[in-house]
Amino acid sequence: MSYRQPRFTRPPGATELLLIRHGESRAADPANPFPLVDGQGDPELHDAGRAQAEAVALRLRELPLSALYATKLRRTQETATPTAVALGLPIAVDPDLHEVHLGAWEGGLFRKKVADLDPVYLEMQRQQRWDVIPGGESPEALDARLDRALARLHAAHPDAMIAAFVHGGVIAHLLHRASGSQRFAFTGAENGSLSQLLLTPEGIKVRSFNDVSHLLHLEAGDGRMT
């Protein structure tokens, strides 16, 4: 008798959670700051982000997804819309999946601080804490609300695959929690990328991170993948 290597099968009661980072949002401009929703920057998608959203829909339309989630912020809802249309599913908004609060650096200012290599930004990276930014969200607060979100999703969708259109900071923190890595080990997920978690009664497991195979045909004029 011979034994082939087994393929992954979802454990009974588990939830397969696809995390899709929103498409690229419009450029930050100090003369035209992002509008705020509950104190958080809420830019619309860039044209490149809309193309990414369509590519995501092509990737996801063949999967047995039973529910779609997004955040209260426009860029995740705009990214989710082509998938919702393709699958005929509504987009539910989870109140705890929104992006990390950037405090005084909301409205697009964070991007300028990063480009300038602001000393506070560098210290934030060294400590791997968003709350080094004045008014930024603490890891403890982030833990609490994301734990609430995952508990709701798992309770509502056992034995199912679902997708959540979220933000880079949220993806990084969830994969840090699932893997036990440094807090910022998973920062930098590409716009439109797919990562996958498995939610079980025993905890969270990582299945994949930053899958961009569906985006490889999209190239910007400067050679960056968009």
Contact indicator for 83, 163 with CB cutoff of 8 Å: yes
Q: How confident is the model at residue 220 (pLDDT cuts 50, 70, 90)?
A: low
Average pLDDT over residues 139-161: 97
Residues 6+ apart with CB under 8 A from 201: 13
pLDDT of residue 225: 46
Please provide the average confidence, as pLDDT, over all residues in the chain: 95
| Predicted confidence (pLDDT) at residue 226 exceeds the cutoff of 50 | no
When pLDDT is averaged across residues 147-160 and rounded to a whole number, the result is 97
pLDDT-derived band at 221, boundaries 50, 70, 90: very low
**Which tokens belong to 94?**
């989870």
pLDDT of residue 212: 97
Task: For the chain, list the domains and their CATH numbers.
Answer: 15-101+137-215 (3.40.50.1240)
- Dihedrals φ, ψ of 14, to 5°? -80, 160
